[in-house]
Amino acid sequence: MQTNRAKAFKAIEKRIRRGSSPYPAAPVELLLREVTTFEPLFQTRSPSEDESETHIRKLHRAIKCRRGKPLDPVQVFWVGDAWVCIDGHHRLKAYKRAVGAGHWQESQPVPVTVFEGTLLDASAAGGAENGKDRLPMRDREREDHAWSFVILDAEQKVSKKETAEKTGVGTATIGNMRRVLAFFREQKPMHDPADFSWRQAQHLERFGEERETGNAEERRRQDVERYARLLKSSFKDAFTRDASLLVAVVREAYSEEYLPILSRALAATLPENEEEASREPAEALTGDF
């Protein structure tokens, strides 16, 4: 949900109003302890725990192999009393892990770039184009990131074109989001649009009812992605080269009785015009290996 992000935005706004000016000159490097994080607002990606851990390990290995040479700069933003990371959260975690392992010195600064702009702009910066040290954003993450930006920019101070550039979605999508936001104001004043993901908000605007299955669908999608990553990391392309191997592995792991169930489930996921072509492989599920 976007509610926490909206609250986080207001909290940071307060800190900026009450805070002081930053250093006389924008730093090009900072110590790890000088960089704070505020993920509810500035972490636009939401990888699974496994995906996040894999990426941190990869970055940690890179730090170790570079022997003192840093990763890409972490992007920071002044919030009145501290430098906050707006892009590079996994890099920071990798540096801290490297310190614990003796591959990076705590007294050694890390390179940073200072984001110059408004808080609203900074909230969008983390969703910019993916760099080599960043995890890619999924379509839903990018959509929800853009949706939260549109909500925060309720007065539409930023043009559609500029909003699209900042968030990585099309201008037509931004136009749709603004229309849906207007729908909430005019027809659903008791609903907070920040309580809805973009797809849930669309559903409410189109059909006049909340999409109750959203959380279940999201959990299933995350499960599928997690298991798919585990399958690929463990077996690479072995099953694409020999589908019968997958069947044999399933039989060995789950027993013979499970194969007809798998066959029916597989057939049910195929379009009708592919059923005939898939019949022979599906029937092979109960063959001998």
Domain boundaries, the chain: 1-136, 138-235, 236-289
- Beta-strand (E) ranges in the chain? 29-30, 35-37, 74-78, 83-87, 110-114
Which amino acid is located at 9 in the chain? F
Q: Decide: residue 39, CB within 10 A, 0-12 exposed, 13-18 middle, 19+ buried.
A: middle
Geometric angle at alpha carbon 76, from 73 and 80, rounded to 5°: 160
- Collect the ranges in the chain with pLDDT lower than 70: 1-3, 23-24, 44-50, 126-136, 209-219, 222, 255, 257-258, 269-289
pLDDT of 128? 57
For the stretch 68-72, contacts whose Cβ atoms lie closer than 8 Å and that sit 24 or more positions apart, written own/partner, are: 68/104, 68/108, 70/110, 70/111, 71/95, 71/110, 71/133, 72/111, 72/131, 72/132, 72/133
The values of phi and psi at residue 28, to 5°, are: -105, -10
Q: How far is CA 174 from CA 149, 210, 230, in A?
A: 10, 21, 35
Q: Which two tokens stand for residue 253?
A: 């792991």
**The model's pTM:** 0.60
pLDDT of 19? 84
Closest among 47, 44, 66, 43 to 55, alpha carbons compared? 47
Those residues with Cβ within 8 angstroms of residue 76's Cβ, 6 or more apart along the chain or in another chain:
30, 35, 83, 84, 85, 86, 112, 113, 114, 115
pLDDT of 100? 94
* Tokens 């590079």, located at residue: 88
Closest among 148, 171, 167 to 2, alpha carbons compared? 148
* pLDDT tens digits along 73-121: 999 999 998 999 999 999 999 999 999 999 999 999 999 999 988 999 9
What strand order describes the sheet that includes 110-114? 29-30, 110-114, 74-78, 83-87, 35-37
pLDDT of 276? 44
DSSP 3-state of 211: coil
Q: Which two tokens stand for residue 190?
A: 């008791």
